[in-house]
Amino acid sequence: MQGSSQEQKEDRNEKRTRTARPGSNINMQCTLATMEFRIILAFAALAAAASNHSYDVGQRWGPYRPNLYFGVRPQVPKTLLSGLMWAEGGARMLDTLRDTCEQDDGMEGYGWPLYDTRVGGRQEIHDAQLGIDLTTEFVKTPDGDNWAVRVNGVSRSDDATPQIALVFHFALEEMGVEETGKSLKCQVDGTDGASKGFCTGTDPSLGGFTVELLPGQGNSVVEQVWVMSTLVPEEKIWQAKAAFTNISKSSTTAPSDGKGNIYFFKTVVQTPFSGSTSTITSTSLTKLLGDFYLSFPQRVSSVFPQSAPFQGQDYAKFTQALLSNLMGGLGFFHGDSKMDDSHAPEYEETDIKFWELAAEAMKRAKVVTAPPRSLLSHTPSRPFFPRGFLWDEGFHLIPIAEWDFDLTVSVLRSWLSLMDSDGWIGREQILGPEARSKVPSEFQVQYPHYANPQTLALLFPILLQKMTDPSSYRGSPSKYLSDPDGAGKTMLRELYGLLSKHYAWFRRTQAGNFSTTYPRPEGAVAVGEGYRWRGRTPQHTLTSGLDDYPRADPPHPAELHVDALAWVGATSSALGRLAAYLGEATDAETYEQHHEGVLRNLDLLHWDDGAGAYCDSTVVDGRFERVCHLGYVSVIPLMLGLVGADSPRLPALLELIGDPDRLFSPYGLRSLSAKDPGYGGGDDYWRGAVWANLNVLAALRLADLGRATNGEESIRARAKELGAELRRRLVETVYKSWKQTGFVWEQYSDKTGEGRRSRAFTGWTACVILLMGGVDGGVASGGGASTNGARRSGWGMTGSGMSRSMFSAEQRGLSAPLFIGVMGALAAAFLLRRMLFGRWRRLVDRVRGTLGYGIVLERSLGTRHKVASIARIPQVFRRHTTLEYQILAWHIQVEENGDVPILTSTQGRFRKEFLRHPTGTKCRFNVWPTPTPQSPKQQSSACQVALVSATFFHMILKMVQGSEV
């Protein structure tokens, strides 16, 4: 990739003057002439072994080259690549040529204010250095066969109308390889007095295709269209700018034998101008775009509704821009990668000063080239990080899941399909030479013992929520949601198996040392849940995602990291819920045990009473010690839903979060306390700056805690207050910077609120749209149509995407005596009815209870839900009884899971709760996943509830032997 940022810097202050020409205003763009660029594609079947990647037909084509200002390709490897370049139209053309997005290229903003992956949209590019505003409008047909692009340009100054060179380029990969059946030939036809460009080609993955370039009419065209071609090495075919520069400097013409593998159509126009590429007529192109521009804002408002104080047209455009640019950063990548598969023993990091030994082993290791793979992924930043990042992608997909369920599934499947036979997924996907051109050589090699936070797990409870509650989804039509028991469940089972494998790899490779070599708090070893990020150095823990966040210094092989353990807790929650849905009872029990172990060891290993926070731990002079650097690591268990509203840890965590001298800056939560000695030091990356992704998690979780019904009211009120204020501060910070600079940023200063580091960072920063809607200044509560996307997904209530942590009766504020009394009264009523009126054959439809509570007894999902026979009931209760109950409005149904009836109930507002107990004198109460360990008193009360309830329903079942409910 040939950049021109230095040349642009030198030219930035040069003034340009041009002769003005009159024009007419069309669609907010002055248009003197129209150049149409038509591409017609007829698709054949894909080659059988073309890629590890599959795609939906409607998503085949798109601007999936996000590193370019405008680049189109299909989700197919080794195929047709296209793009647009522009420059000054005079002698300085090659010095000012724009191609790849750059950090410092004289742009005053660029991006997609309106864009949907399924349709297309409009991109605006404000090139201050060249004095021009460009608009690219891309649209594709629903069948995925055709696409079109229209380019408009206007001068940024009333006093100048610069001449601009437009260069469209097309390249066909592997065209020179024998027996590929590929061809591409482009030429210009001027028989009717105006130059017309056209290409014809074939590709087994696309079929035959034709590209037409229709000439413009009018005086905006300074230089007619012409074409040139060159043959470049396959590994450099993506370097359109370099190839164009070389051929422009050379006197040679296009190869006469038609064997060029990259072609350029060039024209020079005077601003203002307009041109388009299209498979569709200009009229239909305009109509498709016009319909989209009308419908898109309405759809965004429906999926991501706004509430005070973020209402009005400006905030609506802000929301649209963030969502559009997140989707506009979607890329399809294909190529080989560099990895170290030596599995050197030093990589176990068990020795003192392990990082030095590991560094030496890396120097000795032979780097290998892994076979080519394909990936569909959103990108954090088009100019700076135009590739897939495992740590980022989970956050990217949270808002996408609200907008386009099937696209979310496609991206998840693509990522999880990258894992190797052990379950490892590289944390950075640097696929092919084009991706490597943006990465320093020392960071290109991936290591199979390096992990990343398991953010993809955040998506699975969201998917499950939408599968089981269609009203929680307002996005694009979904083939999975339209067939939840068929395609939907098949998809979940596939992805569940992949995530389970990756989770097992993480637990195995990042496990902490629980041998007798190092001291641990009493009880922690038996639990066995504790983890340590591999890849540590004294200055960095890149694998944690929190690069330079301070840890123990020096590093020690006995370290245990809070965030690593918390991510295991979040993932075990997600997998457990999914396993239960898929009927994998053994797996669900295993994940339950993992989750309970995580909760116990968070307290045993990582809670520090003195600091009032969770801290990493290490061993110093043979002693177990906690290392407390207060910041994101200290509160990430809360962010991920592992701290309940009745947790004794919550008050101290809220005090830390709300302290302006430590974490609570005027612009959001600092990544590191302002009182920490490391604040602002080192790389100053995760040492104080405000990061949107974890701030969003914190704001949503605080709002959930504020809505809880358990715990002290004053604590819940404080959580709600902090969540609402954090929401306001974070959204205002990102919004104001966007208004001032035209970009959203990687991070924000905790002192000024200014955007820092990489610009055009509409990756996880776009998650702030999840905070735009809310109730009483917070995040919207409840489910259904009245809530915003985040609330409908249920993910916000815990970072793992779990619904409301399945609180117990005690946590809901339902006393066991009251519950027992109600059940006893109802049991007496049923017995009296039976004595008076004889044996019941069916349950009554509705029986109103006393004390203001009601019960609804009805069947829910059809005739497959039947009551077991009397003969089977004892076996059922010897196995287990699952009772799902709700206060205020009971909705009871009897489901059949194999040969085990499961008694359940649902209630619209609250999530599901499960009470389990085995038969016998030993009563055990499991609430899984529970936010905090329960006291013996709580367990005893809950067991009473479960036993009395089971007895009551046992009696009902006997009364309705074999009857349908």
User: Residues with catalytic annotation?
Assistant: 547, 746
Cis link prior to 929 (omega < 30° from 0)? Answer: yes
609 CB contacts (<8 Å, ≥6 apart)? none
Q: Are 8 and 92 in contact (CB under 8 A)?
A: no
State whether residue 881 is helix, strand or coil. strand
353 CB contacts (<8 Å, ≥6 apart)? 554
The two tokens of residue 371 are 């076979």
State whether residue 771 is helix, strand or coil. helix
| Torsion region of 842: left, alpha or beta (phi above 0 gives left; psi -120 to 50 gives alpha) | beta
Burial class from Cβ neighbours inside 10 Å (0-12, 13-18, 19+) for residue 572 reads buried
State whether residue 21 is helix, strand or coil. coil
Q: Are 117 and 139 in contact (CB under 8 A)?
A: no
DSSP state of 274: E
Q: Are 745 and 384 in contact (CB under 8 A)?
A: no
Q: Are 766 and 453 in contact (CB under 8 A)?
A: no
The two tokens of residue 316 are 């609506």
Helix ranges, 510-644 (H): 524-527, 562-581, 585-601, 632-639
The two tokens of residue 69 are 């200002």
Q: Are 773 and 305 in contact (CB under 8 A)?
A: yes
Q: Which residue has the tokens 């960072």?
A: 761
- Which H helix or E strand runs over 99? none
Q: Which residue has the tokens 């001027």?
A: 190
* Among 790, 686, 667, 664, residue whose Cα is nearest residue 735: 667
CA distance 828 to 838: 15
Q: State the distance between the two ends of the chain, measured CA to CA, in whole angstroms.
A: 68
* Among 554, 572, 559, residue whose Cα is nearest residue 531: 559
CA distance 682 to 702: 31
Q: What are the distances in angstroms from CA 643 to CA 214, 293, 325?
A: 63, 43, 34
CA distance 631 to 514: 26
621 CB contacts (<8 Å, ≥6 apart)? none
DSSP state of 605: I
| CA-CA-CA-CA dihedral for 436, 440, 441, 443, to nearest 10 | -90
The two tokens of residue 76 are 């197919």
| CA-CA-CA-CA dihedral for 497, 449, 545, 742, to nearest 10 | -80
CB atoms within 10 A of CB 371: 8
54 CB contacts (<8 Å, ≥6 apart)? 413
CA angle 263, 264, 266 (to 5 degrees): 160
Q: What are the distances in angstroms from CA 801 to CA 1, 35, 546, 698?
A: 40, 49, 21, 13
Helix ranges, 333-488 (H): 354-364, 390-403, 405-416, 432-436, 459-468
Strand partners, 368: 339
